[in-house]
Amino acid sequence: MQRLLHFLYEYRAFFTFLILQLLCVWMIVQNNQYQGAQFFNTSNRVAASVSGTTQDVKNYFALRRINDELSEENKWLRQKLEQREQAIQYLTLKQDSVFDTDIVERFEFVNAKVVNNSTARFKNFITINRGSEEGVEPGMAVMNDNRAVGKVKTVSDHYSVIISLLNIDEQSSVLIKRTGHFGTVQWDGTDPRFIDLKYIPRHVVPLVGDSIVTSDFNAVFPPNVFVGIIRQTRLSESDQFHEIDVELAQDFGKLAYVQVVKSRLKKEKDSLENITIGEPK
């Protein structure tokens, strides 16, 4: 016994090293899971406010560009609104049969400011200044002017951490708008302007310039959110699937404001599926 204690004492540095490393590995594994540790990340209030201050300084120099973008978006939205009004007037005859507010107001948006963002790492995250108090929950979709950005990973009272599409662990179900074929986008970790589109089978002919949008099967995003445009396709003799490079619609280096999408019908859809198929494993 004494010799054992002596042995442990002799190599105490090594054993401490071992214990600390095991602790680190455990934390890394925990954090990789979808809803990882809730406290030690930038949704923590102190960390978020420090990052927020840095971001404020950076944003100050980008104010002109952000203003331009916002006014551009305003113009676009007003145009859409006008078109919609006209369409509704045209459709008033049918209104009684199709007008269901639950369907029309299916999605609600929470505006949020980006307080921390990165694009150069393998696993990029975005921190925003809205949290559970404002109704943000893990799993919600995040977009910017109808362009896909990512999904909420963890929330605190006033901040949330978003897994960016530029994260090698993140996959999203999408479709080629022209042909209607489903695939999956996943970032390869190198160029932040491009994302890989996978699992498009051989018989499909994707063309350069085709739009990629989120699919109806997507558990996170509303359908038809713009992801990007095909820039290059490769298909060798032995491949089962096309290798496709998609240029992202969103420039992640310039994110300043985003919208979190609250889907009112998601709970209903999920619980209905649970009843029929059973709890997801």
Partner 1 sequence: MTREFLASVIGFLVYALLQVMLFQELVLFRYAFCFVYVAYILLLPMETNSLPLMILAFILGLFVDMFYNSLGIHASSLVVVAYLRNYWLGVITPQGGYDTGSAPTVAANGLQWFMVYTIPLIFLHHAILFFTEAGGFGLFWFTMLKIMASTVFTSAMIILFQYFGGGSRR
Q: Which residues contact partner 1 (rule: CB under 8 A)?
A: 12-14, 16-17, 20-21, 23-28, 30-31, 36-37, 40-42, 44, 47, 50-51, 53-54, 58, 116, 118-123, 125, 127, 161, 168-169, 188-190, 192
Report in angstroms how near the CB of residue 260 gets to partner 1 at its nearest.
Answer: 18
Looking at the DSSP bridge assignments, the partners of residue 164 are 150
Q: Whose Cβ is closer to partner 1: residue 27's or residue 70's?
A: 27
Q: Whose Cβ is closer to partner 1: residue 154's or residue 214's?
A: 154
Q: Whose Cβ is closer to partner 1: residue 156's or residue 215's?
A: 156
**How far is it, in rounded angstroms, from Cα 210 to Cα 178?**
7
Report in angstroms how near the CB of residue 240 gets to partner 1 at its nearest.
Answer: 20
Q: Are 260 and 141 contacting, i.e. CB atoms less than 8 angstroms apart? A: yes
Report in angstroms how near the CB of residue 200 gets to partner 1 at its nearest.
Answer: 21
Report in angstroms how near the CB of residue 4 gets to partner 1 at its nearest.
Answer: 20
**How far is it, in rounded angstroms, from Cα 107 to Cα 124?**
26
Q: Whose Cβ is closer to partner 1: residue 42's or residue 172's?
A: 42
Report in angstroms how near the CB of residue 168 gets to partner 1 at its nearest.
Answer: 7
Report in angstroms how near the CB of residue 280 gets to partner 1 at its nearest.
Answer: 24
Q: Whose Cβ is closer to partner 1: residue 76's or residue 122's?
A: 122
**How far is it, in rounded angstroms, from Cα 122 to Cα 149?**
16
Looking at the DSSP bridge assignments, the partners of residue 154 are 161
Q: What is the DSSP string of the chain?
A: -HHHHHHHHHTHHHHHHHHHHHHHHHHHHHHHSTT--SSSSTTSHHHHHHHHHHHHHHHHHHHHHHHHHHHHHHHHHHHHHHHHHHHHHHHGGGHHHH--HHHHT-EEEEEEEEEEE-SSSSEEEEEES--GGGT--TT-EEEETTEEEEEEEEE-SS-EEEEEEEETT-EEEEEETTT--EEEEE--SS-TTEEEEE--BTT----TT-EEEE-TT-SSSPTT-EEEEEEEEE--TT-SB-EEEEEESS-GGG--EEEEEEETTHHHHHHHHHHHH-S--
Q: Whose Cβ is closer to partner 1: residue 30's or residue 232's?
A: 30
Q: Whose Cβ is closer to partner 1: residue 168's or residue 229's?
A: 168
Q: Whose Cβ is closer to partner 1: residue 116's or residue 218's?
A: 116
Report in angstroms how near the CB of residue 138 gets to partner 1 at its nearest.
Answer: 14
